[in-house]
């Protein structure tokens, strides 16, 4: 039997075949797209922003202050040597006699009670005069004030405060190093979500993830900076206590040296007495009293200056710690904001791309 295919039947067959092929191709394309992230490019762009570098916050160099001293009079030391050697040389030098005469001339201007105390001075009296816990009697207190304006010839025979260049820092005590300023940085600029949809959601998610990472890195650096700053403040306080204790030891050592130096003057007076130089012996005892009283004043003044210097140095070290803290905070903040600006630009471009693709409608 011969089958006859009409023109209409042929058209039906062709149309049916084409319809089948279209359905098949549509199904395959849909299945393939289910496994493709159309917004993967967004994440790749944000991954290109570098991490923040770890902050380098090295400790500053700490230089111990040079606190000076109270020196014994070189001229008096030479005078004592001359007197003690007089027995061998047979006489006291004219220079020594002139020095002692200036002491006698000065002492005659003071009350008779001062000279009396000088002629009866003992080593125990010297120790009491140089003991800051012991008050001076009225006559010696008057002598202490008078010695501040004594003639240069007399001052040359008395102890001398020797300061260092570090004491030039004393006028700068107004520095406020304990300010507790907090790190400052520009807050996030929030984007207006004018674009929505899956593409925009992917862009915002990638942006938020990157900003969160950068924020954690920034805050980790801030923690290092703040921890170092707090530690440096504590260390400055500890150094102050250590330096004050060391100064107390130095003060006691020099006080002992001044007691011994004054005792040497009394020993020279006894030597002069043994040589029959009674006038010289009396003048030496006058010098011993002036020396002890002036040494007391010099030690107190020097110690006060040193303690002030130590406070100033602590303040300077705290100011330095604060300056480092602010500089490092600014350094980290600048790097963070640069990375955030880059992320903002990528987000803005991504949202524009989403809108142009029609995903944001």
Spatial distance between the Cα atoms of 326 and 182, rounded to a whole number of angstroms: 9
Spatial distance between the Cα atoms of 51 and 88, rounded to a whole number of angstroms: 86
Spatial distance between the Cα atoms of 286 and 119, rounded to a whole number of angstroms: 7
E strands, the chain, are 69-71, 160-162
pLDDT for residue 91: 83
* Model pLDDT for residues 178-222, shown as the tens digit of each residue: 444 444 444 444 444 456 678 888 889 899 999 999 999 999 999
* Model pLDDT for residues 60-113, shown as the tens digit of each residue: 999 999 999 999 999 999 999 999 988 766 688 999 999 999 999 999 999 999
pLDDT for residue 182: 47
Task: Tell me which residue of 153, 110, 79, 131 sits closest to 259, measured CA to CA.
Answer: 131
Tokens, residue 342: 């880059």
User: Distances from the Cα of 121 to the Cαs of 72, 215, 357, in angstroms?
Assistant: 19, 76, 106
pLDDT for residue 285: 98
- Write down the number of H helices and E strands in the chain: 11, 2
Domain ranges for the chain: 40-165+193-357
Handedness of CA 301, 306, 311, 317 (dihedral sign): positive
CB 265, CB 287: distance < 8 Å: yes
* Model pLDDT for residues 228-280, shown as the tens digit of each residue: 999 999 999 999 999 999 999 999 999 999 999 999 999 999 999 998 899 99
Mean of the per-residue pLDDT values for the chain?
85
pLDDT for residue 202: 86
Spatial distance between the Cα atoms of 15 and 27, rounded to a whole number of angstroms: 19
**pLDDT above 90 as % of the chain:** 69
Element (H, E) at 175: none
Q: Does residue 30 surpass a pLDDT of 50? A: no
């Amino acid at each position: 039997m011969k089958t006859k295919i009409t023109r209409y039947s042929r058209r039906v067959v062709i149309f049916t075949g084409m319809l089948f092929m279209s359905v098949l191709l549509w199904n395959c394309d849909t299945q393939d797209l289910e496994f493709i992230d159309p917004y993967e490019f967004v994440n790749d762009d944000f991954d290109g922003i570098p991490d923040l570098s770890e902050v380098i916050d090295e400790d500053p160099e700490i230089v111990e202050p040079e606190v000076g001293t109270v020196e014994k009079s070189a001229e008096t030391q030479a005078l004592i040597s001359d007197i003690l050697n007089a027995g061998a040389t047979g006489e006291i030098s004219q220079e020594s006699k002139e020095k002692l005469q200036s002491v006698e001339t000065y002492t005659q201007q003071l009350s008779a009670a001062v000279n009396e105390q000088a002629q009866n001075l003992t080593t125990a009296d010297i120790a009491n005069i140089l003991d800051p816990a012991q008050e001076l009697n009225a006559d010696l207190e008057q002598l202490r004030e008078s010695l501040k304006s004594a003639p240069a010839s007399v001052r040359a025979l008395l102890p001398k405060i020797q300061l260092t260049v570090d004491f030039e820092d004393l006028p700068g005590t107004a520095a406020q190093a304990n300010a507790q300023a907090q790190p400052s940085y520009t807050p996030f600029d929030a984007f207006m979500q004018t674009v929505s949809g899956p593409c925009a959601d992917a862009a915002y998610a990638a942006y938020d993830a990157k900003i969160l990472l950068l924020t954690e890195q920034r805050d980790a650096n801030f923690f290092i900076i703040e921890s170092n700053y707090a530690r440096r403040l504590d260390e400055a306080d500890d150094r102050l206590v250590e330096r004050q204790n060391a100064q107390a030891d130095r003060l006691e050592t020099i006080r002992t040296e001044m007691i011994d130096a004054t005792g040497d003057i009394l020993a020279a007076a006894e030597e002069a007495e043994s040589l029959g130089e009674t006038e010289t012996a009396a003048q030496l005892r006058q010098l011993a009293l002036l020396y002890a009283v002036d040494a007391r004043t010099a030690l107190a003044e020097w110690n006060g200056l040193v303690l002030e210097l130590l406070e100033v140095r602590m303040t300077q070290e705290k100011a330095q710690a604060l300056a480092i803290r602010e500089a490092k905070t600014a350094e980290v903040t600048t790097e963070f904001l640069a990375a955030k600006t880059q992320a903002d630009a990528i987000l803005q471009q991504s949202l524009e791309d989403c809108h142009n693709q029609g995903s944001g409608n």
